[in-house]
Amino acid sequence: MDILMYNIIDKKRLRQALTKEEIDWVVSNYVSGIVSDAEMSSLLMAICLNGMNDTETYYLTKAMQASGKTIKFSYPTVDKHSTGGVSDSTTLVLTPLLASMGIRVAKMSGRGLGTTGGTIDKLEVFKGYDVYKSFDEFNRIIKETGASIIAQSADIATADKKIYALRDKTATVASIPLIASSVMSKKLAMGSNIILLDVKYGKGAFMQNKRDAIRLAKLMVKIGKLDNKKVWAVISNMNVPLAEGVGCAQEVYSVIKTIDGEENNLKKISIELATNLYMMAKNVDRAAALSEVNIAFDKGIKDKLKQIVNAHGGATEYIDNPDKLLESKYVTTINASESGYISDIDALNVARFVMELKQRVDNDKYRQGIISNVSVGDRILAGDKLVTIYSDTKISVEDKDAIRTAYTITNRKPKKLKLIEKVIK
């Protein structure tokens, strides 16, 4: 019998499982334009409301992967993916760290999505960095330096690009099977047999609660296994920005400070991710991997970062001179109005504030951002510096009030933040 889009939508409306044949049909006909946006929107909403079982989600992942090309390397590579967070610059620490240990990293990254930052936007802070290298160049740079990070190419999981844009317009992003298939279609197409997922939950993440993050992680790990890939997922907290800097230049500043030895949450999570990838790549236990990773980090990874940035045409002056990243027309400090402990820094509020700063300028959006001068748990006095804003537009009293509300000050010392919840294998 002929497959009809009407029947597929109706099946999902009635909570029935779609077959592989039906899912392949929808994806290929949507890409070719035979299935319309209206029909696809209706199916996506039915999936959002009624879900998909794990087998359907795997079929959807594979159909989206098959809509583009799949990369093949002639040597082992690893890949890492974050579901997106605020001040999440782990890729920029982790990549030179692993490369310095002889583990090749092949990474295609995205731009910022909503309030979550994008690695590609941050890499462009290094003037001249070409995020659009061809596959041959990607391959050459990985062989030469041990790692390459470029923008997601349009011919990887082509269907996902089109479906994601429609989901963005039709309020159908927040669905675990749709997120899992979108992420995994791209990861499977990228050719690495070892994939580490950093699944974040909390105010600054797609997944607002831990339970959903764990469901999403388990599903993605299962999809990877069905495809004979080694996939693990780290569940991590995204209620508080990961580093002091939020905004492209400020986040790169935090990366350089971390590489230079500052102890912070960005270092903690980067070491955790690198340790897991090292365990996966070398089949060693956690203690051995952690020790190797710490030795490599302490030896220094600055030269490796420079080598990688250089290989993509990027200028490395900021790596030697991070203070230059904070040059902007206006530098505005906000002071605490009371004494106490910093018990929360609301990642979503901070990210929204920085987004607003970026929207005010046509050029140099990367320069607009903030640096937190305090961390959760710090004891502060009224008048102490809370946050510094770097902007090319003047900061108003309302702006100051807006960013201040992201900082909660209490009399009681808050509980220590649990940054890493668990690892799902």
3-state SS, residue 112: coil
Q: In angstroms, give the least distance from the CB of 203 to ligand URA.
A: 17
User: In the structure encoding, which two tokens stand for residue 13, read together?
Assistant: 């409306």
In 51-153, which residue ranges form alpha helices assigned H by DSSP?
Answer: 54-66, 90-100, 119-123, 135-145
Per CB under 6 A, 391 contacts ligand URA: no
Query: Which residues in 333-352 contact ligand URA (CB under 6 A)?
Result: none
Contact segment (CB under 6 A) with ligand URA among 24-32, 63-71, 137-145, 177-185 equals 177-185
Distance (Å) of CA 217 to CA 7, 43, 161, 180, 226: 31, 24, 21, 8, 14
Q: How far is the CB of 178 from ligand URA (least distance, A)?
A: 6
Phi-psi region of 171 (alpha: psi -120 to 50; beta: other; left: phi over 0): left
Contact assessment for residue 334 and residue 404, using Cβ atoms and an 8 Å cutoff: yes
CB of 184 to ligand URA, least distance (A): 9
Q: Is 176 in the site for ligand URA (CB under 6 A)?
A: no
Between 73 and 164, name the residue whose CB sits nearer to ligand URA. Answer: 164
Do strands 407-410 and 379-380 pair parallel, antiparallel, or not at all (unpaired)? unpaired
* Distances in whole angstroms, Cα of residue 273 to Cα of each of 69, 94, 173: 28, 7, 26
Burial class, 72, CB count within 10 angstroms (exposed 0-12 / middle 13-18 / buried 19+):
exposed
- Of the listed pieces 39-47, 171-179, 208-216, 311-319, which binds ligand URA according to CB under 6 A? 171-179
Q: How far is 236 from 213, CA to CA, in rounded Å?
A: 9
| Complex with ligand URA: residue 89 or 182, whichever CB lies closer | 182
Closer to ligand URA by Cβ: residue 81 or 267: 81
Residue with tokens 């991590």: 236
C-alpha angle 119/124/125, rounded to 5°?
A: 100
* Cβ at position 105, least distance to ligand URA in Å: 18
- Of the listed pieces 57-65, 92-100, 173-181, 261-269, which binds ligand URA according to CB under 6 A? 173-181
3-state secondary structure of 345: strand
Catalytic residues: 81, 160, 167, 182, 186
Closest distance of CB 112 from ligand URA, Å: 11
3-state class (DSSP) for residue 349: helix
Q: Does position 152 bind ligand URA by CB under 6 A?
A: no
The C-alpha atoms of residue 45 and residue 177 are separated, in whole angstroms, by 12
Q: How far is the CB of 118 from ligand URA (least distance, A)?
A: 11
Chain residue at closest Cβ approach to ligand URA: 182
> What's 286-316 look like in SS3?
HHHHHHHHHHHHHHCCHHHHHHHHHHCCCCC
C-alpha–C-alpha distance, residues 79 and 89, integer Å: 15
Which of the ranges 1-9, 31-39, 176-184, 413-421 carries the binding residues for ligand URA, by CB under 6 A?
A: 176-184
Nearer to ligand URA, 229 or 385 (CB): 229
Number of residues that bind ligand URA (CB under 6 A): 9
Interacting positions 197-216 with ligand URA (CB under 6 A): 206
Q: Which of 44, 52, 108, 183 binds ligand URA (CB under 6 A)?
A: 183
Contact 104, 148 (CB under 8 A): no
Residue with tokens 């941050």: 122
Beta pairing class for 147-151 and 194-201: unpaired
Sole window of 174-182, 319-327, 331-339, 361-369 interacting with ligand URA (rule: CB under 6 A): 174-182
String of contacts with ligand URA for each residue 279-318, x by CB under 6 A: ----------------------------------------
Tell me which residues in 76-105 interact with ligand URA (CB under 6 A): 83-84
Shortest distance (Å) from residue 376 CB to ligand URA? 26
Q: Quick one: 57 or 145, whose CB is closer to ligand URA? A: 57
Q: Is the dihedral of CA 87, 91, 92, 93 positive or negative?
A: positive
The amino acid sitting at 115 is: T
What is the C-alpha to C-alpha distance for residues 104 and 85, in angstroms, rounded to an integer?
24
Instruction: Out of 182, 237, 270, 275, point to the residue binding ligand URA (CB under 6 A).
Output: 182
Answer yes or no whether residue 179 interacts with ligand URA by CB under 6 A: yes
* Residue among 45 and 311 whose Cβ is closer to ligand URA: 45
Could you list the residues that contact ligand URA (CB under 6 A)?
83-84, 164, 173, 178-179, 182-183, 206
